[in-house]
């Protein structure tokens, strides 16, 4: 089905044509008519299948001009990067329209965002924490909201935003259209839907756990960080098909360690993103990666969702995630839309159980290979991998405690004093003062 087959404004059709978007994806084909009909909708689809346009297109078609300074559309997202990306998508679609859009998120000056909100907008996009903070100042009024969208709700809940989401919904008018789009729906999400949504239309374009058909998945058995890095270096050097890649690790510390190694071997060819980096730095990394100025990004799961970058040839799981659904979000960075993608996972002995669960979740067997002959399987560990020696731990002794003195189970000389009740201590001090006066 094509976008021209539904009743869109000329401005929207032109904006889509300028981006080369003519055909609807399955989630768009199923969701857009329901959203246009005014239903509350929950859309479940694989990452990279066009969920953002599935809610933006009908929202923008129905959004009429207003001179009110208060927003009429609210879009909640889990991360700053996704807030910036959704705002960018709105700008692409509304280039010839008078729609005013603001994105608010943490990590930047809140006073600047307050001024923008005070000036007025039609659509506000934000992370729950920052949006609620601005709402509490009284500058942001949500009583004129007609449509609210929750994008990647399960990620928001896992990040601990449940209280802010609930408070934000308490500020919304009861008469509104509520939309939710995600790759996965958890029990926590269902509970939130039952609380704040009306009778909903649940649209499933691809069941959770179904892998994208055009992603080629392979894996290698490895033993430790240094062996992983030897394998990674071999792949980046020998495989010309790895043109643009995300390299996922399990933590910020490992991201910094790996990036330092890569930067030494491939100067200025790779970037790094994790939550300890400033917002401006993270946005610059994403921008340079999109513009092909970087060959790859070392990242934590911070960017495993929502970041839409075209032509990512590979996703390399340097570390496997602890959650099988998080694996799905990671591999969704490649093979987006109709493009083919590739995923390479490094599997240690302790990762085999979760890797089996991932394969069962996808209903797919991923071929696992041994290390190529050219790759050295080293036994040298990095400090984070070494098991601490209990004898190296500092010994803390109470300086008043003398080992070996006194009989077994003998009470401390201070025990009687410690067990005196406060009122008894007070009476004792009073008695001592009285005796002093007598003397």
Contact 82, 153 (CB under 8 A): no
The domain boundary residue, chosen from 383, 403, 427: 383
Asked whether residue 438 is domain-assigned, the answer is no
Measured between alpha carbons, how far is 105 from 219 in angstroms, rounded to an integer? Answer: 37
- Contacts of residue 325, defined as CB under 8 A and 6 or more positions apart, other chains included, come to 154, 183, 184, 208, 209, 361
- Clarify whether residues 254 and 219 are in a common domain: yes
- Clarify whether residues 191 and 93 are in a common domain: yes
Asked whether residue 407 is domain-assigned, the answer is no
Coil, helix or strand for 12?
helix
Look at the chain and report how many structural domains it folds into.
2
| pLDDT at 211 (0 to 100) | 54
Coil, helix or strand for 363?
coil
User: Is the pTM of the predicted complex or chain greater than 0.75?
Assistant: no
- Clarify whether residues 20 and 140 are in a common domain: yes
Closest by CA position to 87, among listed 77, 96, 397, 97: 77
CA angle 146, 151, 154 (to 5 degrees): 125
| pLDDT at 194 (0 to 100) | 85
Measured between alpha carbons, how far is 90 from 94 in angstroms, rounded to an integer? Answer: 6
- Clarify whether residues 251 and 129 are in a common domain: no
- Clarify whether residues 68 and 176 are in a common domain: yes
Measured between alpha carbons, how far is 192 from 181 in angstroms, rounded to an integer? Answer: 13
Q: If you ran DSSP here, which 8-state letter would residue 209 be given?
A: T
Residue range of the domain that includes 93: 3-204
CA distances, 171 to each of 136, 188, 190, 369 (Å): 10, 21, 21, 54
Closest by CA position to 219, among listed 52, 354, 101: 354
pLDDT one digit per residue (tens) for the chain, 439 residues: 888 888 888 999 999 999 888 889 888 999 999 999 999 999 887 767 788 999 999 999 999 989 899 999 999 998 888 899 899 999 999 988 989 999 999 888 999 999 999 999 999 999 999 999 999 999 999 999 999 999 988 788 877 888 999 999 999 999 999 999 877 777 888 888 888 887 777 887 765 555 567 889 999 999 999 999 999 999 999 998 999 999 999 999 999 999 999 999 999 999 999 888 887 888 899 889 999 999 999 999 887 776 778 889 999 999 999 888 889 888 888 887 667 899 999 999 999 999 999 999 888 899 999 999 999 999 999 998 887 665 555 555 454 444 444 454 455 544 444 445 555 666 677 777 777 666 5
E-state strands within 53-208: 73-76, 101-104, 123-126, 147-151, 177-182, 200-204
Coil, helix or strand for 178?
strand
């Amino acid at each position: 089905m094509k976008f021209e087959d539904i009743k869109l404004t000329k401005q929207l059709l032109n904006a889509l044509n300028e981006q080369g978007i003519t055909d609807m994806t399955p989630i768009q084909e199923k969701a857009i008519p329901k959203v246009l009909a005014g239903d509350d909708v929950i859309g479940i689809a694989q990452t990279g299948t066009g969920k953002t346009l599935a809610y933006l297109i009908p929202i923008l078609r129905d959004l009429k001009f207003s001179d009110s300074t208060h927003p009429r559309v609210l879009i909640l997202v889990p991360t700053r990067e996704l807030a910036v990306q959704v705002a960018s998508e709105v700008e692409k679609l509304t280039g010839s329209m008078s729609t005013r859009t603001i994105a608010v998120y943490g990590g930047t000056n809140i006073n600047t965002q307050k001024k923008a909100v005070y000036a007025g907008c039609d659509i506000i996009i934000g992370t729950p924490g920052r949006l609620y903070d601005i709402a509490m100042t009284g500058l942001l009024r949500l009583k004129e909201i007609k449509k609210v969208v929750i994008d990647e709700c399960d990620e928001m809940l896992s990040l601990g935003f449940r209280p802010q989401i609930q408070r934000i919904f308490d500020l919304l008018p009861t008469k509104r259209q509520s939309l939710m789009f995600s790759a996965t729906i958890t029990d926590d999400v269902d509970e939130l839907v039952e609380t704040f949504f009306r009778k909903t239309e649940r649209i499933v374009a691809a069941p959770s756990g179904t892998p994208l058909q055009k992603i080629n998945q392979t894996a290698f058995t490895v033993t430790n960080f240094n062996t992983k890095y030897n394998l990674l270096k071999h792949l980046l050097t020998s495989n010309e098909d790895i043109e643009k890649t995300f390299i996922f690790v399990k933590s910020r510390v490992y991201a910094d360690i790996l990036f330092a190694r890569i930067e030494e071997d491939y100067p200025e060819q790779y970037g790094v993103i994790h939550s300890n980096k400033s917002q401006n730095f993270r946005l610059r990394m994403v921008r340079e990666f999109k513009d092909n100025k970087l060959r790859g990004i070392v990242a934590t799961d911070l960017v495993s969702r929502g970041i839409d970058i075209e032509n990512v040839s590979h996703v390399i799981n340097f570390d496997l995630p602890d959650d099988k659904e998080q694996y799905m979000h990671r591999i969704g960075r490649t093979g987006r839309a109709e493009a083919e993608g590739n995923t390479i996972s490094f599997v240690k002995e302790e990762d085999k159980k979760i890797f089996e669960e991932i394969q069962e979740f996808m209903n797919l067997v991923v071929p696992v290979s041994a290390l190529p002959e050219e790759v050295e399987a080293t036994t040298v560990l990095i400090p984070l991998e070494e098991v601490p020696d209990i004898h190296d731990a500092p010994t803390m002794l109470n300086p008043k405690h003398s080992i070996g003195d006194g009989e077994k189970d003998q009470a401390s000389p201070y025990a009687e004093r410690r067990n005196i009740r406060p009122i008894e201590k007070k009476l004792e001090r009073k008695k001592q003062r009285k005796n002093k006066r007598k003397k």
